[in-house]
Amino acid sequence: MHDGVFFEDHGIPTATVISSEFQRAARAQADALGAKAYQTVVVEHPIQPLTREEVRALADKVYDEIVRRLTA
Amino acid sequence: MSLLDPEVEGGAIEALYARGVTDGLPVVPPTRERVARAVAACGRARDAVIALVPPNYGPATVEKIAVNAVMAGCRPEYLPVVIAAVEAVCDEAFDLHGVSATTNAPAPLVVVNGPVRAALDINCGAGVFGPGWRANATIGRALRLVCVNVGGATPGVVSMSTLAHPGRYTYCIGEYEEASPWESLCVEHGFAPGRNTVAVLAADAPLGVYDHQSRTPEDLLATIAASLAVVSHHKMTHWGDTLLVLSPEHARIIGDAGWKKADARRWLWERLQRPVRELVPGKDGGEGLPEHVLRKFNDPATETTLIPKFRAPENLKLVVAGGTAGRFSAIVPGWTFSKASALVFRPIHTP
Amino acid sequence: MSEYLDPTASVAVPRKTAPRSASLDGKTVTLLDISKAKGDHLLDRIEELLRERARPKAIVRKKKPTFARPAPDGLRTEIVGATDVLIEALAD
């Protein structure tokens, strides 16, 4: 979260992809830093036991949202 | 005085809990007077910034640390130890950011060396990890409250440990230097004998090692090695700093045979190596060596190259603590995979 | 509570997000791998999709030394100086 907030502060639109279990932590951390408008892109938890193909399928699912997060 | 009115104090305790700034146990309400006494006892300016506490990087001033120390129940004279511990966990090498946010379970274990142990009655003997000593109970607790209140490590919100462990209430021991056959942990790490220091380790809960029968270093260390082998996961390799807390009786078995700490460390490190073929994922569990390591071998399933459990013998940190009766030791696993946390020291500055 | 001192230390400062362009056409896109296992699989596929569906000027791959810490200052500065947008993955 610190990285994302840092890059946004420095003028770089950033999409941080996190798993669903960490949404609340990400929100709380961004808020604690004052970055109320900062948004993440969420994929379904868990990730670690997934195969390569299953992880790639998650990318297909969130690609459009990532692009939306980075553009006006 | 109205502040000590039991009803007012009771209301403050409830209000502090409701604000989410406690560990769930009642805290001592941090009145201006109590905090001022603690600040005065450490001999430092109240607005001096000791460290920025991750993950929020909130400024831990002497006064902010004192507020949390008062809440934890510290006596004013404990404050220099708490300050040193805060400084230590905020050292880059400790990676408090990771320690506070991870789904793993680490809590900072504070190990105190030097005459301050006697001066503050910090327990190093019987029941060293247990309750009953105000200094151990409240110094560790004060550090936790600083991590949460100044660092922002709110449990279940930012601090995402799946299980955590009871050391997150308090985790502070003294080394029983007087019962050790060897130089103390801090002297071993370059501090002059007689210096007061804290060492902090991002640590899991202690794992007891029982051995009543061994009478030689080789026998006892074989027992200890078998327990060290399961730290994190039985196939985990290249682990970092991990603490071995030897009871005085166990330490004597090794020391009386003329072994130095370095000899014990080397023996354990050499023993704790396993061939690649036993570490492949899917053999005795889905975990195993990571892909980038497996790629180095033609046929990992038959490969006999030995991989060490710990990166170097020096990662095995030995201290002596606990009651003088009892052949029990404890392993305190560090949260110390590559590029994560390491043991960090700070001198304690007493006024 | 006024007679009791505050144990917390707020660090919140009002922050804005960076201005966005209408599309990724002609942009340099940096994919930052936080070094958590499997994140590279996700970023590999995102890179493919970007090449298929957008017209970025360049796609740059970077990697943090460890997910357990924020990116080091040197890496942050390097990225800020050389990219238009950033995708960071995968925190789980």
Is residue C52 domain-resident? yes
- Cβ of residue C12 closer than 8 Å to a chain A Cβ: yes
Asked whether the ipTM of the predicted complex exceeds the cut of 0.85, the reply is: yes
> Would you call B172 an interface residue with chain C, using a CB distance cutoff of 8 Å?
no
Tokens, residue B210: 């029982």
Residue A46's pLDDT band (boundaries 50, 70, 90)? very high
Other beta carbons less than 10 A from residue C29's beta carbon: 24
Are B59 and B69 within 8 A, CB to CB? no
On chain B, the residues whose CB falls within 8 A of the CB of C65 are 339
- In 3D space, the residue among B27, B305, B300, B340 whose CA is nearest the CA of residue B169 turns out to be B27
Whole domain around residue A8: which residue ranges? 2-70
pTM passes above 0.90: yes
Partner C contacted by A68 (CB < 8 A): no
- The answer as to whether C45 is a domain residue is yes
Beta-carbon-side half-sphere exposure of residue B51 (alpha carbons within 13 Å): 24
Asked if residue C17 belongs to a domain, the reply is no
Tens-digit pLDDT profile for residues B185-209? 999 999 999 999 999 999 999 999 9
- pLDDT on residue B1: 44
pLDDT at C1: 43
- Asked whether A3 and C78 are in contact (CB, 8 A), the reply is no
Count of Cβ atoms closer than 10 Å to residue B31 Cβ = 19
| Mean pLDDT of chain B, nearest integer | 96
Q: What is the pLDDT of residues B124-174, one digit of tens each?
A: 999 999 999 999 999 999 999 999 999 999 999 999 999 999 999 999 999
pLDDT per residue over B5-31, tens digit each? 888 889 999 999 999 999 999 999 999
Whether residue A25 and residue B152 make contact (CB cut-off 8 A), yes or no, is no
Q: What's the average model confidence in pLDDT over C54-62?
A: 97
pLDDT band at A56 (very low <50, low <70, confident <90, very high): very high
- CB within 8 Å of A14: residues ≥ 6 apart: A3, A4, A7, A8, A70, C18, C85, C86, C87, C88
What pLDDT shows up at residue B4?
Answer: 67
Res. A1: pLDDT tops 90? no
pLDDT of res. B162 = 96
How many domains is chain C partitioned into structurally? 1
pLDDT in tens, C11-45: 889 999 999 999 999 999 999 999 999 999 999 99
Kindly give the pairing relationship between strand C58-63 and strand C28-33: parallel
Residue B3 above 60 pLDDT?
no
Start-to-end C-alpha separation, chain C: 39
Looking at the domain assignment, is residue C5 inside a domain? no
Contact predicate B209/B329, CB 8 Å:
yes
* Chains in contact with B, where contact requires at least 3 CB pairs less than 8 Å apart: A, C
> What percent of chain B is predicted at pLDDT more than 70?
99
Residue C33 lies in a domain: yes
B175 Cβ contact partners less than 8 Å away, ≥ 6 residues apart = B111, B112, B113, B117, B124, B184, B185, B319, B320, B321
Average pLDDT, integer, range A17-45: 94
Look at B154 and A33 and tell me if their CB atoms are within 8 Å: no
What's the pLDDT tens digit per position in B112-125? Answer: 999 999 999 999 99
Residue with tokens 């989410």: B20
Domain residue spans in chain B?
2-272+309-347
Q: What is the mean pLDDT of residues B308-319?
A: 98
Domain count, chain A: 1
Give the domain range for residue C73: 28-89
Kindly list the residues from chain C whose CB atom is less than 8 angstroms away from the CB atom of residue A12: 18, 79-80, 83-86
| β-bridge mates for residue C21, sequence order | A71
d(CA B44, CA B52): 17
- pLDDT tops 50 at residue B87: yes
**Residue B124: CB partners within 8 Å, gap ≥ 6?**
B117, B173, B174, B175, B176, B177, B179, B321
DSSP structural state of residue B191: P
Beta bridge partners of B245: B319, B330
C68 falls within a domain? yes
Where residue B2 falls among pLDDT bands split at 50, 70, 90?
Answer: very low
Neighbours of chain A (3+ CB pairs under 8 A): B, C
Residue B70 has pLDDT above 90, yes or no: yes
Examine residue C7 and state whether it is found in any structural domain, yes or no.
no
C-alpha angle B74/B168/B327, rounded to 5°?
95
Considering only CA atoms, give the Rg of chain A. Answer: 13
Beta bridge partners of B210: B328
C80 touches A at CB < 8 Å: yes
pLDDT band for C4, please (50, 70, 90 cuts).
very high
Q: How many other C-beta atoms lie within 10 A of the C-beta of residue C44?
A: 17
A44 and chain C: CB distance < 8 Å anywhere? Answer: no
Q: Is the dihedral of CA B60, B61, B67, B71 positive or negative?
A: positive
